Structure 1
Amino acid sequence: MKIFVPGRICLLGEHSDWAGGYRRTNAAVEKGYAIIAGTNQGIYADVQPHPNALVLYSTTPDGERQGPYQIPMEPKILLEEAEKGGFWSYMAGVAYQILTHYHVRGLIIDNYKTDMPVKKGLSSSAAITVLTARAFNRIYDLKMTIRGEMEMAYQGEILTPSRCGRLDQGCAFGNRPIMMTFDGDRLDTTELQVKENLYFVIVDLHAKKDTRKILADLNKAYPFANNETEEGVQSLFGSINKRITHEALEALQTADGERLGALMTEAQDYFNRYAAPACPEELIAPVLNRVLNYEALKPHIWGGKGVGSQGDGTAQFIARSEADQQAIIDIIERDLQMSGLKLTIFAGAQVRKAVIPAAGFGTRLFPASKATKKELFPIVDRDGIAKPAILLIVEEALAAGMEEVIIIVQEEDLPAFQSFFSEQVSIENYNKLPRHFQEYAQKLLEMGQKVKFSIQRTQEGLGHAVYSARELIGSEPFLLMLGDHIYRSDSDRSCAQQLVEAFNQQGRSVVGMRKTAESDIANFGTVTGNWVGGNQLLNITEFAEKPTIEYARDNLRIDGLEGEYLTLFGQYIIKPQIFDYLEEHIENNVREHGEFQLTSALDRLRKEDGFAGVTIDGKRYDIGLPDYYLDTLQTFRKS
């Protein structure tokens, strides 16, 4: 299994993690706030299980190979190795913490590539600890969330002489920008989305700084300030930082690079004013400030500041454009003999396409399904119009902003679906329609222009059906809506809209959920996990396909639910990596209950990229069984 973990750059809010931690002893200290992002460079590893040892290899940025270095998976030996310090200590510290909390064996971790600079404020040590935690999590399916991996990595690193800060392990979130809040021992994270790409340059100043001295001197201002200089430090990391990071949060999400650059420059000015006097030997930083004020760079930048603990280590600039990003690097290398790295925060992928599987035979609705596809069965909507079920689903998708709807059908059923969405009724019949139905007939043709079809030539499970849409989806996230479910929202946002909004906020795959009585869960896919800030959003730790009650009681319970479980609502937004997993299953004939299922591929996506569940404010109506269809006919219009 291959794993990549990026470095981490603190765009704004450096030092606020440990400063906010002092709220444990002084509640008057302001919370810490930081905005971080993963770098485009990082640490790459190939990992596999080992029966009884931690076997380690590493590769430096210069390509030098080290290892194998073997450590027995015994707590005492791992702890001793962690306390020694050095590169291997980070992995040993995490392995010690994992072994303390879980029943695991060993790992082989081959760090075969490193393309980020080390000891330059980009949290290379945190990246290797997160990589180690993630390797154990995925190899042994420990069901840790990203936050769980972060915590395990942090606890592992503080066993070493490094003594990292809390924000370093934010690299666990990958390249997505994150807002972090530090309140004593409490850490909150919010994943951010940007509307347009933002272009940064990270500059290695090729100078020296003493991070330990910087931290020691700045920590003297806490928990209680004793003089004007220390009051300035607390103000800098407190109220000033709070204002700047929250203004920057809005600028980041709206992709306002000019405003973000101005805030970065302002933050650096305040840092020079209030932090430098507390540690002048390190924080006056002549090299950093010379680069930040280098005249030739100004036409290409919106602003810039120091990185990490600050001092003469690393600088960051926000470029005016992608072309300016390259121009900055050219100037840095040519004029200043320094090196630069590109960091691009990419706009969040937009969900533009929906997939509706409609190729099943409808066995449970036979013989009606022999006469017509169950997706074409009529349902009376609130407006009194009798609509085929597929139309209600397409309308739901289009109302959520989808630009294209892909319906998966059997080849022999294609003419019926095409006729419905693409052919006008005959002139004779059109003239018989009341005016409002004539208008609706035109609306149908307009909707039909956004409908495409994918042929599933053999019906071999939901996973197989979804895979058949790969060519039309491409490399985009997509909305999946089951063809034998219709939906009714209980709010002013449709069910699919709620899901799209959650995806835009989370930046990872999401699935709609609903509460289901224990007696019914054998009919539905079911999830479990940990609530995030209430009972609306769930970090999913397991997908289970139609579990038994016994399995659910042992493995799928959710805090706060008694006699109920969270089952799948029938709507998903899925990242395109799912197609790689489905292809692997199909090529290797990996079946469950004789078919290529979607659930196992979803669970793999959960392990490798994270998956959120959203409790939908609405109802799902099933038309896949006679009794369910009858109930839908009786209740959907009134809902």
Structure 2
Amino acid sequence: MTVSDNQLNKVVIPVAGLGTRLLPISKSIPKEMVPVVDRPVIQHVVEEALAAGLNEIILVTRSGKSAIEDHFVPHFELETLLEEKGKQAILDTLKAIAPPELKITSVRQDQALGLGHAVYSASHLIAEDEAFAVILPDVLVKNQPSDLQANDLRQMCQRFAETRSAQIMVEQVALERVNQYGIVDCSGLEPAAGESVAMISVIEKPSPSEAPSRLSVIGRYILPGSIMSVLAETPPGAGGEIQLTDAIDQLIANGHSVQAYRMKGRTFDCGYIEGWLKANQQLASEAGLI
């Protein structure tokens, strides 16, 4: 993979989804604005990106989701009121939502044609020789309580810096659940937690009998800018949508080095009611709030 020596600092976050698995909560509230403990889901993932050194956020959005962008814009009237009332702790919390280094750009996804199409919607902001990250906001990636200094996305960025290979974050799932995910083929090898191994392919939602492993793609990627030209030619795949996994598979076929990074932390799928409730209960308990 040929990439420039520019620092990896851009991340594409697709937020154009309808959030049907969170209905009726998401009927009038963007699913990314649903709170987990004390802040919206989107703030959790932006903080994750910043902690990994990724400060240029590209939101792939649609109409009706302006609340996401508004969340990261200073509210001068509210901040002035809090300052006048001497509520410095709350004021500091608000200002921390958008630190000075954070840069946010929004682009529109004109049609809901799949994750690959969503990522491609940001193609004009990514150079051909520029690597970038992709974060899916439905899934929160959190450290283990015993390893609070770990940040899987940051470690994945470090692996990219060391190897210049694209990185796909994975975790192991039960065999009966492989048909719900993209599953990677690493020639029978399984990376240790915090490590990466070479991938030879990725299959979208295989049956248990066809799955090459139990390592599932969980929504964190570091990709070369050249994948945009691949996505431009990627036909609809599973579900009639343009699949990012199909483009990654083609990237491998084109000779680009792609590795599976096995996470050390935990995932919380906040895209459906039960997973969102579990995230709130578990993380609130660890924070000593319940």
Normalising by the residue count of structure 2, what TM-score does the alignment of the two structures yield?
A: 0.88
Alignment match, 2:55 = 403
CA distance in 2 between partners of 1:494 and 1:600 (Å): 27
Of 488, 505, 516, the residue aligned with 2:142 is 488
Greater helix percent: which structure?
1
Q: CA deviation at 1:449?
A: 4.6
* Identity across the alignment (%): 29
Contact 1:354 1:480 in 2 (8 A): yes
SS at the partner of 2:184? strand
Query: Which stretches in structure 1 are left out of the alignment for 5+ residues?
Result: 1-173, 176-345, 381-385, 558-564
CA distance in 1 between partners of 2:86 and 2:182 (Å): 43
CA distance in 2 between partners of 1:470 and 1:365 (Å): 29
Task: Encode CA deviations 1:370-405: one digit per residue, 9 max, x unaligned.
Answer: 12011111011xxxxx11000010011011111311
Task: Encode CA deviations 1:398-432: one digit per residue, 9 max, x unaligned.
Answer: 1111131111111331x212221113153475356
Of 168, 171, 174, the residue aligned with 1:514 is 171
Alignment match, 1:567 = 216
Alignment match, 1:592 = 238
Residue 604 of structure 1 pairs with residue 253 of structure 2: no
Alignment match, 2:124 = 471
Q: CA deviation at 1:578?
A: 0.9
Query: Residues 534 and 397 from structure 1, CA distance in 2 versus in 1: closer, same or farther, beyond 3 angstroms?
Result: closer
Q: CA deviation at 1:349?
A: 4.7
Q: Paired residues, what number?
A: 277
Alignment match, 1:628 = 275
Alignment of 1:352-391 (within 5 A): 352-380=9-37, 386-391=38-43
CA distance in 1 between partners of 2:197 and 2:98 (Å): 39
Matched to 2:275, the amino acid is Y
Q: CA deviation at 1:471?
A: 1.2
Contact 1:356 1:407 in 2 (8 A): yes
Q: CA deviation at 1:570?
A: 1.5
CA distance in 1 between partners of 2:251 and 2:167 (Å): 11
SS at the partner of 2:150? coil
CA distance in 1 between partners of 2:92 and 2:218 (Å): 32
Coordinate RMSD, CA, aligned: 2.3
Q: CA deviation at 1:489?
A: 2.1
CA distance in 1 between partners of 2:241 and 2:75 (Å): 38
Alignment match, 2:198 = 539
SS at the partner of 2:169? strand
Matched to 2:205, the amino acid is K
CA distance in 1 between partners of 2:19 and 2:41 (Å): 14
CA distance in 2 between partners of 1:362 and 1:527 (Å): 26
Of 420, 426, 430, the residue aligned with 2:77 is 426
SS at the partner of 2:16? coil
Give the number of the structure whose alpha-carbon radius of gyration is greater: 1
Of 565, 569, 576, the residue aligned with 2:225 is 576
Task: Encode CA deviations 1:554-582: one digit per residue, 9 max, x unaligned.
Answer: xx13xxxxxxx111122110011110111
Query: Residues 566 and 485 from structure 1, CA distance in 2 versus in 1: closer, same or farther, beyond 3 angstroms?
Result: same
Task: Encode CA deviations 1:232-264: one digit per residue, 9 max, x unaligned.
Answer: xxxxxxxxxxxxxxxxxxxxxxxxxxxxxxxxx
CA distance in 1 between partners of 2:41 and 2:101 (Å): 15
Of 93, 101, 111, the residue aligned with 1:458 is 111
Of 185, 189, 192, the residue aligned with 1:528 is 185
Matched to 1:540, the amino acid is M
Query: Residues 373 and 532 from structure 1, CA distance in 2 versus in 1: closer, same or farther, beyond 3 angstroms?
Result: closer
Q: CA deviation at 1:488?
A: 0.9
Q: CA deviation at 1:636?
A: 2.5
Task: Encode CA deviations 1:502-527: one digit per residue, 9 max, x unaligned.
Answer: 11111111111111111222222111
Q: CA deviation at 1:533?
A: 8.1
Normalising by the residue count of structure 1, what TM-score does the alignment of the two structures yield?
A: 0.41
